[in-house]
Amino acid sequence: MLKNNYKERSAYIRLKTQSANDIKYKLQKHIYEMDGLSYANGSRKGDFEIRDGVEKISEEINRFYEYLRLFDSAKDGDAHALEDILVFFQNNFIDSCTVTAALRDLNSAIIEQTRLDKQHNKFINDSRLKRTKNIYLAELQNQIDQFDSRFQNNIAPALREFLNDINSLHFFNIIEKCLNTKTGSNNNLKHSTIIESELYTFIWIYVKINTKASTPTEITDLLAGEITRMGIDNQVLAITGMTSNEFREHIKDIIIEIPDTIATNENRLFKSQSAILQKENNKNHINTRIHLQTLINSIYNLNTGSPSQFIEEYSDCSGLAKAKKKDRSLFHASSAFGVTLKTVCDYHSNSLMFIISWILTEIKTNPDISSYMQPLIKILDEIEYFIGLFGTALLVTTEKSNVIITVLNNETKAYIPSSLAHLLVETIHSNCKNLDQAFSESNIECDLQTLPDRITRVFSKKLEIIREAHHDATKRIKKYINDVES
């Protein structure tokens, strides 16, 4: 019977949760105190762009605040809250920081405004018509510098500490569940998909969070020590069939396998082909989960009117209100009783959200199910293309010169380029068709039955339910498109 260090585990969870909660409170306090950027003066195009930039920074930092609050749900027992926090901050802070990107864009807008002022003054002889130094812009620049300094020096380091705690808590929760499930079993889990995948994820995220250069040996010491403090090390060793040294070497091997993260000359003397294949499968599984969560976040952003993906070709589109009818298409009308192209896009994106969320839930619950899901996973890039097109359409309709407000009934009509409308309709049709084909292929994968019979039967029933829902959605989408085009 394996020894259960309940007191040790309880102490670890209590201390780690308290640490994360203290850092969360400190971060929220910093963010609250930073909410002071403002620029309300000027009516030139550049002034509007600067105000938009200020609003964008506020939106991004508020998103950080909201995802910090999600930790309260984790403390209340929400099993997925910790993972949602990690995925959000990986996409919006670790890989590419949306706050610093918004700061760069705002600084660029200020520099451009200053350049235009200087250019204007070169051709003006009358000093009364020359543009003087914009004191409001200078004040804003000072605010931006202070904001950037506080973000880099206070928020970013504390956020990395917070994410380290979240990563450890998430790993602990998943592994403890696996161990409790497998305790008493005679199975050797040295190559268990779930444990191996979660160990790889834990190490991979740790390396991404902690940018300070360290050798694989140093990181191995830190992570092995963390697992020991969790109080699960002996049980992990017993179930995986490894010795303590073998487990440390296994951690070190994973660190070395992680690409483009650590510069090192350390190489393994021997690699079995099966182990390499296993690690590749684990990486694919992790990447798929991240891709799915990213798509969910992108669709959510569409639904909240803050698209995060665009097609560069249409980024500067303007003047459609006065364009020829053949060059523009109605995207949305405020008083339309029937459907518009935006209605179709909204309905299709909601249908995709339902399907993608289901796929993510299934492969989280049982990673082995991914083998049945491959046909659906393969078309994620095409789905992402639709999200980019829809986001672009929403962006285009925010440009005032692409909108008409009728005099008689004050109706707002928003237009997009005809070519973009054609791409949207074409991509929606393609999404529906390819999803239907993917469901059929997944059904065939089930018939080949590479997993235990019980798992296959349950998954087949779920697959059929989701497929029927997709069929119903496709029928409605086709009817909507016919209504739009008639």
Q: Check whether 277 has a pLDDT greater than 60.
A: no
Provide CB contacts within 8 A for 128, sequence distance 6+. Answer: none
pLDDT digits (tens, 9 = 90+) for 416-436: 999 999 999 999 999 999 999
> Looking at residue 273, what is its pLDDT?
33
- Rounded CA-CA distance 414/343 in Å is 13
Token duo for residue 223:
């992570």
Q: Tell me which of 77 and 471 has the higher pLDDT.
A: 471
Q: Please give the helix or strand (H or E) that residue 357 lies within, else none.
A: helix 341-365
> Looking at residue 308, what is its pLDDT?
63
Query: CA torsion sign, 68 to 74 to 75 to 78?
Result: positive
Task: Give percent above pLDDT 70 in the chain.
Answer: 75
Q: Tell me which of 404 and 314 has the higher pLDDT.
A: 404
pLDDT digits (tens, 9 = 90+) for 151-160: 888 889 999 9
pLDDT mean over 99-113: 79
- Rounded CA-CA distance 134/120 in Å is 14
> Looking at residue 265, what is its pLDDT?
31
> Looking at residue 458, what is its pLDDT?
81
Phi, psi of 188 (to 5 degrees): -90, 120
> Looking at residue 49, what is its pLDDT?
72
Q: Tell me which of 416 and 486 has the higher pLDDT.
A: 416
Do the beta carbons of residue 166 and residue 85 sit within 8 Å? Answer: yes
> Looking at residue 296, what is its pLDDT?
86
Residue-averaged pLDDT of the chain:
77
Other Cβ atoms within 10 Å of 318 Cβ, number: 11
pLDDT mean over 383-387: 91
Q: Tell me which of 50 and 439 has the higher pLDDT.
A: 439
CA nearest to 54, candidates 117, 135, 131, 147: 147
Q: Check whether 219 has a pLDDT greater than 50.
A: yes
Do the beta carbons of residue 400 and residue 322 sit within 8 Å? Answer: no
Q: Check whether 190 has a pLDDT greater than 50.
A: no
> Looking at residue 267, what is its pLDDT?
29
> Looking at residue 162, what is its pLDDT?
93
pLDDT mean over 264-271: 30
> In residues, how long is the chain?
486
Identify the band that residue 195 occupies on the pLDDT scale cut at 50, 70 and 90.
Answer: low
Identify the band that residue 244 occupies on the pLDDT scale cut at 50, 70 and 90.
Answer: confident
The least confident of 82-86, 117-121, 129-133, 479-483 is 129-133
> Looking at residue 325, what is its pLDDT?
87
Identify the band that residue 108 occupies on the pLDDT scale cut at 50, 70 and 90.
Answer: confident
Q: Tell me which of 206 and 404 has the higher pLDDT.
A: 404
> Looking at residue 188, what is its pLDDT?
43
**Which range, 206-220, 272-286, 313-327, has the best average confidence (pLDDT)?**
313-327
Other Cβ atoms within 10 Å of 41 Cβ, number: 14
In one-letter notation, the amino acid at residue 162 is F
CA angle 310–312–318, rounded 5-degree value: 95
Q: Check whether 84 has a pLDDT greater than 70.
A: yes
From residue 213, how far is each of 127, 148, 249 by CA, in Å? Answer: 56, 24, 20
Provide CB contacts within 8 A for 419, sequence distance 6+. Answer: none
pLDDT mean over 385-413: 86
**Domain range summary for the chain, segments of one domain joined by +:** 6-270, 293-485
pLDDT digits (tens, 9 = 90+) for 196-205: 667 777 887 8
- Rounded CA-CA distance 2/231 in Å is 12
> Looking at residue 133, what is its pLDDT?
56
pLDDT mean over 45-67: 78
> Looking at residue 161, what is its pLDDT?
92
Do the beta carbons of residue 363 and residue 285 sit within 8 Å? Answer: yes
Cα dihedral value 403, 406, 411, 416, nearest 10 = -20
Task: Give percent above pLDDT 90 in the chain.
Answer: 13
> Looking at residue 415, what is its pLDDT?
92
Q: Check whether 450 has a pLDDT greater than 50.
A: yes
> Looking at residue 352, what is its pLDDT?
92
Q: Around 347, how many Cα atoms within 13 Å sit in the side-chain half-sphere?
A: 22
In one-letter notation, the amino acid at residue 471 is H
Q: Check whether 46 has a pLDDT greater than 80.
A: no
- Rounded CA-CA distance 3/185 in Å is 15
